[in-house]
A and B are shown apart, each in its own frame.
Chain A
């Protein structure tokens, strides 16, 4: 069964450094999402992406964050200058269609630790 993959599984970085989290969505999906989960808190939506542009974003997704689909397979989340509070589990998801009851398929997550 096709699945969403994410790399790396764990990333440790120093405050102020840039990080890029990578995701490979399911190949025939067109809609892509990033969510994050701070330890002990709920999973929160960051951004959705379709047709090479952001379709929705939350207030968490500020100027420090950016997303890109650099080629036909990867979908990346970049954090320009990491803060301690960016430490979280970051989940990528993809779906064939964006709305209704269509399922979002999630990756296993990248644990980001900012020291």
Chain B
């Protein structure tokens, strides 16, 4: 069975600085997809960034980038130039290539301090 582990329950960062959130996963699959979702307080989860396992190049979306290490089964999220609006729960998620359901980690609560 696939599992997703986020080892940092809470993190904080100063505004404008960079922070990295960790995620590891366990799978025997070769075809899969990885996602980071953000959940602001009392709001729905929104997709931040996604990575296809078959792509070697790390995904980037503006201030958000990932460090995807397939052999190590690691998928960390880097947020550059942190903004107050980045304060949220961040969930790492895994999806097998042949299925639709997402498997989530427990989340990391990120606080950006002014």
Task: Point out residues on A near B: beta carbons under 8 Å.
Answer: 3-4, 31, 33, 35, 41-45, 48, 55-56, 58, 91, 95, 98-101, 103-109
Contacts and interface: CB of A to CB of B under 8 A. Distances in A.
B100 interface: yes
Interface size classification for chain B: 20 to 34
A3 B98 CA distance: 26
Contact of A103 (B43, B50, B97, B107): B50
Interface of B: 4, 33, 37, 42-47, 50-52, 91, 95, 97-107
A91 B101 contact: no
Contacts of B104: 35, 42-44
Contacts of B43: 108
A93 B88 CA distance: 19
